[in-house]
Structure 1
Amino acid sequence: MPTSPHGTPDRGLKPFILAIHREALDTAAAKGLTGTLAQVAALQDTASLASARAGRPVTEEEVMRLLLRERRARNIHEAAGTAPVTPIRKPAAAPSRFHLGRWRSVAMGMARSASAGPAGKARL
């Protein structure tokens, strides 16, 4: 079974790889492996078993690309059913005293201009 130019396995291998990877994760957990070590072991097992089925070497990179593509597709489908969440923008660093002073002066200027009448004079 030839591979595509993008480095992902044929469509016939896709469901097989996804199923084998789930099983490999369960096997790694049963062996007591956790975290990144479990993920790497599952990835290696999946690539090895997929190579036997495909009759050619299937690299770990091909398996990882397929898994990431599936994860992105699943996230897109899940996000389509919910309202979009806008990220909260935070300043990169705390504002300096100079900027705080400017913000206060701008705010005070806005307060003064709001209390000014049509002629521009402050009402008392």
Structure 2
Amino acid sequence: MPTSPHGSPDRGLKPFILAIHREALETAAAKGLTGALAQVAALQDTASLASAKAGRLVTEEEVMRLLLRERRARKIHEAVGTAPVAPVRKPAAAPSRFRLGRWRALAMGVARSASAGLAGKVRL
């Protein structure tokens, strides 16, 4: 059973890999592993067990690609069912001294041009 050029495992392995990975994460947590260490251990266990089931070497890269593709598909599916959310905007940072100086210069320029009347700035 060869892999496709994109490196994804056979279709029959997909549900098996997803279920095994979930259990491998729980096992890693039960062993006291957390964070990236737990992720790596679960990934290695999943690849090993999937290789035995497939009868060929299933690499950790193949497993990771399958997991990421599934995660993206789930996010897209969830996003379609929800209402669009406005992006959260960060509060603006305080203006720098340089920007304040430019604003003052601009304000002074507008004040000068306003005092020149309808003819605009007086040219010499």
* TM beyond 0.5: yes
Report the counterpart of residue 2 of structure 1 in structure 2.
2
Report the counterpart of residue 83 of structure 1 in structure 2.
84
1-side partners of 2:78 and 2:109: how far apart? Answer: 47
Structure 1 position 84, deviation (Å): 3.7
How many pairs align? 119
Unaligned stretches of 5+ residues in structure 2 = none
SS of 1:61's partner is helix
2-side partners of 1:32 and 1:73: how far apart? Answer: 30
- 1:66-105 correspondence runs (5 A): 66-80=66-80, 81-86=82-87, 88=89, 95-105=95-105
Amino acid at match of 2:57: P
Amino acid at match of 1:79: A
SS of 1:58's partner is coil
Task: Work out whether 1:20 is the aligned partner of 2:20.
Answer: yes
Distance 1:86 1:109, change over 3 A: farther
- 1:22-41 correspondence runs (5 A): 22-41=22-41
Amino acid at match of 1:35: G
Q: Residues 2-53 of structure 1: CA distance to partner in whole angstroms, max 9, x if unpaired? A: 2110111011111110010001011111111111111111000000000011
SS of 2:11's partner is coil
Greater alpha carbon shift after TM alignment, 33-42 vs 77-86:
77-86
Structure 1 position 79, deviation (Å): 2.1
Q: Residues 34-91 of structure 1: CA distance to partner in whole angstroms, max 9, x if unpaired? A: 1111111100000000001111000000000111111111112222213144353678
Distance 1:101 1:69, change over 3 A: same
